[in-house]
């Protein structure tokens, strides 16, 4: 301890220039003159400038989120021996305002000791303009206390906001694609819980900001319609504060990849005079359509769809298997074009195809002639899936307005492969939001169709994390492995799945 004399005392100097000394009034030790006329040890015994400052204090720490409590109810993120933690510790010392803080720093302690020591240097004025400097250590005890956010998370039944995702469609391919998009971009990190429901998923959140972030993500990846509502839970008339529960209802477009749709006359004109009956090739941030007879493409954006909505007139479950009898490619010079026509797909090739229904092969030789966009994939003898519009039961107002000459008899959708062999040779897998959900036969079949779409469409699987399945044993002698036309996913497109295994150490 030291004292600093700020008084302007005049000292009498001798001829040699030495300062005259006086005796301490307590112990009689010679000292330089000061306002208290006392030496440092005697002044220390009479005055303690840190008596109102506690030498021990308590701070609270949440082990789940690793945050410290900043009273009264704020939880802040601080690392050990950081300036944020030092500021938090100094705020806990009540009597620190009565002195002047000169220096503060941490004294090293074991990280697991639950103790934080801070060394302080303070100045205090005592006995008429005598400034005393003192150094002392304050020990903070770190107590564990769960914050409110972690309490709500651990409760699992508590939620303040809910996002309900629904799709009124027969096929669930769009929901499977949405699940993989959420996993890839980690959009579900702030959810308290995810509950599968009929026709979609329910996401629960603690704050409205996290729910809005999820809604913004859904609007960026899929064409949706959002309807929000709130319910009053409690109201404090004294502080004029309200407690609401918010709900967001998300409606996804009721079509999926492989669905056949019928466009209205107004929407057809807006899309470059595309045909009325189109095939959905992809549902992403917009609906991608193609005319199977001309390979003309079009995109229906979110706002355009909800202004003139349309539904699927045929779903992938209604596909019928056909056998290709002959294929004749149509040259570009033979294609019919018209002014104002939309873009034509370069990935597909138009061709005249003669097919026979697989169930009537050998019984009835009625060959059906159609134009198809799958000319680059089909050859005589292949199996192909398509819609037989002659026998389909379609209840749609726009479809009933079409003349019979415009409606084709059959539309081919995709080439068919042996599903059993493809499933056995599939050496990759996908992750899910909830692994414990029971899957019935219909959902499993639709999920396998979604996996086949990933194998057939390289653009679709760019937005999906595909992992190697090390537990899958691939048979060597398969007939389908020799066919180069079977779509497969290469090893370069697969990711290594992180698996944590505990291996028991044997005795050496």
Instruction: State both tokens at 457.
Output: 């469409």
Dist CA 480 CA 383 (whole Å): 14
What are 434's two structure tokens?
A: 């909830």
CA distance 195 to 202: 5
Per DSSP, which regions of 184-319 are E strands? 193-197, 200-205, 224-236, 241-252, 260-262, 277-283, 287-290, 297-300, 312-314
Q: Which helix (H) or strand (E) holds 326?
A: strand 320-329
Nearest Cα to Cα of residue 305 among 354, 257, 254: 254
Contact 281, 300 (CB under 8 A): no
Q: What is the DSSP letter of 316?
A: G
Look-up: residue for tokens 């003898």? 381
Residue 169: half-sphere exposure toward Cβ, Cα within 13 Å: 32
Full DSSP string of 397-444? HHHHTS-TTTS-SEEEEEEE--HHHHHHT--EE---S-TT----HHHH
What are 245's strand-pairing partners? 231
Q: Is cis: bond before 72, omega within 30 of 0?
A: yes
Residue 283: its pLDDT value, please? 93
Longest distance between any two alpha carbons in the chain, whole Å: 138
Compute the Cα dihedral for 214, 215, 220, 223 and give only its sign: positive
DSSP string for 229-249: EEEEEEEETTTTEEEEEEEEE
The answer to whether 65 and 147 have CB atoms below 8 angstroms apart is yes
- Supply the pLDDT for residue 439: 64
What is the rounded CA–CA span in Å between residue 135 and residue 89? 17
**With a cut of 50, which residues of the chain have pLDDT below it?**
1, 3, 6-16, 477-480, 500-508
| Each residue's pLDDT tens digit, 181-232 | 999 999 998 888 888 888 899 999 988 999 999 999 999 999 999 999 998 8
């Amino acid at each position: 301890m030291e004292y600093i004399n700020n008084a302007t005392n005049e000292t009498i100097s001798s001829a040699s220039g030495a300062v005259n000394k006086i005796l301490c009034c307590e112990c009689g030790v010679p000292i330089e003159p000061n306002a208290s006329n006392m030496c440092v040890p005697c002044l220390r015994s009479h005055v303690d400038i840190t008596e109102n400052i506690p030498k021990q204090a308590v701070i609270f720490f949440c082990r789940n989120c690793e945050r410290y409590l900043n009273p009264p109810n704020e939880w802040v993120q601080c690392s050990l021996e950081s300036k944020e933690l030092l500021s938090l510790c100094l705020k806990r010392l009540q009597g620190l305002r009565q002195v002047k803080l000169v220096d503060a720093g941490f004294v090293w302690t074991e990280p697991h000791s639950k103790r934080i020591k801070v060394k302080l240097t303070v100045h205090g004025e005592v006995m008429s303009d005598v400034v005393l400097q003192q150094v002392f250590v304050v020990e903070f005890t770190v107590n564990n206390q769960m914050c409110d956010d972690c309490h709500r998370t651990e409760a699992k039944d508590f939620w303040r906001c809910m996002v309900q995702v629904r799709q009124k469609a027969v096929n669930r391919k769009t929901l499977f694609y949405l699940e993989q998009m959420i996993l890839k971009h980690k959009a579900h990190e702030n959810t308290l819980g995810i509950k599968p429901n009929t026709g979609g998923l329910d996401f629960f959140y603690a704050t409205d900001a996290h729910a809005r972030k999820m809604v913004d993500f859904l609007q960026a990846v899929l064409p949706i319609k959002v309807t929000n509502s709130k319910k009053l839970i409690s109201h404090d008339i004294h502080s004029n504060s309200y407690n609401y529960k918010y709900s967001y209802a998300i409606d996804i477009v009721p079509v999926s990849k492989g669905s056949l749709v019928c466009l209205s006359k107004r929407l057809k004109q807006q899309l470059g005079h595309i045909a009325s009956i189109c095939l959905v090739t992809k549902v992403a941030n917009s609906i991608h359509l193609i005319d199977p007879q001309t390979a003309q493409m079009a995109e229906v954006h979110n706002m355009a769809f909800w202004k003139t909505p349309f539904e699927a007139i045929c779903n992938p479950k209604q596909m019928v298997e056909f056998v290709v009898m002959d294929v004749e490619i149509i040259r570009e010079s033979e294609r019919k074009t018209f002014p104002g026509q939309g873009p034509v797909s370069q990935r597909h090739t138009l061709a005249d195809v003669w097919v026979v229904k697989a169930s009537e092969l050998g019984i009835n030789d009625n060959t059906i002639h159609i134009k198809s966009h799958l000319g680059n994939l089909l050859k005589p003898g292949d199996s192909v899936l398509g819609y037989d519009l002659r026998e389909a039961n379609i209840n749609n107002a726009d479809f009933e307005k079409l003349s019979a000459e415009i409606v084709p008899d059959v539309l081919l959708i995709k080439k068919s492969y042996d599903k059993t062999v493809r499933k056995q040779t599939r050496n990759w897998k996908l992750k899910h939001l909830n692994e414990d959900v029971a899957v019935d036969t219909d959902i499993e079949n639709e999920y396998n169709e979604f996996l086949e779409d990933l194998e057939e469409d390289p653009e679709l699987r760019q937005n999906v994390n595909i992992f190697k399945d090390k537990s899958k044993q691939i048979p060597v002698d398969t007939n389908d492995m020799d066919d180069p036309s079977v779509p497969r996913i290469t090893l370069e497109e697969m990711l290594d799945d992180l698996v944590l295994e505990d291996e028991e150490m044997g005795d050496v």
